[in-house]
Amino acid sequence: MGRVYNFSAGPAVLPEEVLKEAAAEMLDYRGSGMSVMEMSHRSKVFETIIKEAEQDLRDLLEIPDNYKVLFLQGGAHLQFAMVPMNFMKHGKADYIVTGQWAKKAFKEAQKFGDARCIASSEDKTFSYIPDCSDLPIDEDADYVYICENNTIYGTKFHELPNTKGKDLISDVSSCFLSEPMDVSKYAMIYGGAQKNIGPAGVVVAIIREDLITPDVLEGTPTMLQYKTHADADSLFNTPPCYGIYICGKVFKWLKKQGGLSAMKAYNEKKAAILYNFLDESKLFYGTVEKGSRSLMNVPFVTGDAQLDEKFIKEATQAGFVNLKGHRSVGGMRASIYNAMPIEGVEKLVAFMKKFETENA
């Protein structure tokens, strides 16, 4: 069986070139006589891998020198807790709830202090990004939190909220490295690797240095303090070595594609093919307000649950897999991350057109 077009929201498609390279290096990584899975994280060989990965990421995002780059574990979910444990210095934080992941982060933060929801789009099944130009931000808030791209609902902040001078913390799991971003506008950004940059098991956090202090919530375990990992350059304990190695390869692949501006242009082109079709289709339609659309996750429906099911079944048989939408939205969702080739989107749209004709 050949490779399919995988529209999974995560773990998701990776560049074929990266997978082939990893396969070629599996038994003997560059003359070391062993796989990256088998080598000490304290070895010179691995040190080069993690250092290069960090440098390539710094180059791609033009990360300012006063930001630390950390490779962590525990998924985005652990960040839902680590963020308040480390940064709720005055016990207050403001959350913008634009989907399930933001809501989970908000709920988790409530365990540690006074977390407030200052804006939400839950009234319309999170199908839009609320106006965040003049929110009731608490004067004592330690930070404002957003989930920048809402994987399940297919929305994205196209403009950052006005935080009125407060530090901004953003979960960028599903839009990481899909386009350039100005890191200096954030106190912290983080993302799980398995959406757009590598295998599950790695979380990348980029944090402004002055925030990484020892005065964290009382009782915070050593492993959950950013300072622990920052002081040890992500080698406090055994890191997810193989995952970091693959992320590093993806960073190099992104550089080869021309960096993040080139990726943005490519992603816009891909997304336009799908959105333009959805806008003119008589059968399918997108579920998100136009001004809030994501470049990465595109949910759509026919309006008939049975027909949706038929579509998913036939699409799977034709080699377009993982198109089933999240249960809270229903219908379909095509995740078209960096590694999804434009042919994949073109062929999917051709298939949708055929399905539309057959089911008119």
Contacts with ligand PLP, residue ranges (CB under 6 A): 10, 75-77, 101, 147, 151, 171, 173-174, 192, 195
Q: How far is the CB of 13 from ligand PLP (least distance, A)?
A: 15
Contact indicator for 99, 146 with CB cutoff of 8 Å: no
Q: How far is the CB of 282 from ligand PLP (least distance, A)?
A: 31
The angle, 0 to 180 degrees and rounded to 10, between the axes of the packed helices 342-358 and 305-317 is 130
Strand partners, 172: none
Contact indicator for 172, 189 with CB cutoff of 8 Å: yes
d(CA 70, CA 85): 17
Q: How far is the CB of 8 from ligand PLP (least distance, A)?
A: 11
One-letter identity of residue 168? L
Q: How far is the CB of 101 from ligand PLP (least distance, A)?
A: 4
Which residue, chain included where needed, has tokens 């077009």? 5
Cβ proximity to ligand PLP: between 39 and 70 the closer is 70
Catalytic pick among 68, 92, 94, 101: 101
Catalytic pick among 156, 195, 227, 270: 195
Instruction: Please return the burial class of 284, using the count of CB atoms within 10 Å of its CB with bins 0-12, 13-18 and 19+.
Output: buried
Catalytic pick among 171, 249, 253, 308: 171
d(CA 320, CA 312): 9
Contact indicator for 73, 145 with CB cutoff of 8 Å: no
DSSP 86: H
Contact indicator for 196, 12 with CB cutoff of 8 Å: yes
For residue 272, count other CB atoms closer than 10 A to its CB: 12
List Cα–Cα distances, 313 to 299, 301, 318, 321, in angstroms.
Answer: 17, 14, 9, 9
Q: How far is the CB of 72 from ligand PLP (least distance, A)?
A: 11
Contact indicator for 289, 279 with CB cutoff of 8 Å: no
Contact indicator for 52, 169 with CB cutoff of 8 Å: no
Q: How far is CA 123 from the centre of its chain?
A: 24
Q: How far is the CB of 11 from ligand PLP (least distance, A)?
A: 9
Reply yes or no on whether 253 is catalytic.
Answer: no
One-letter identity of residue 350? A
Cβ proximity to ligand PLP: between 101 and 300 the closer is 101
Residues annotated as part of the active site: 101, 171, 195
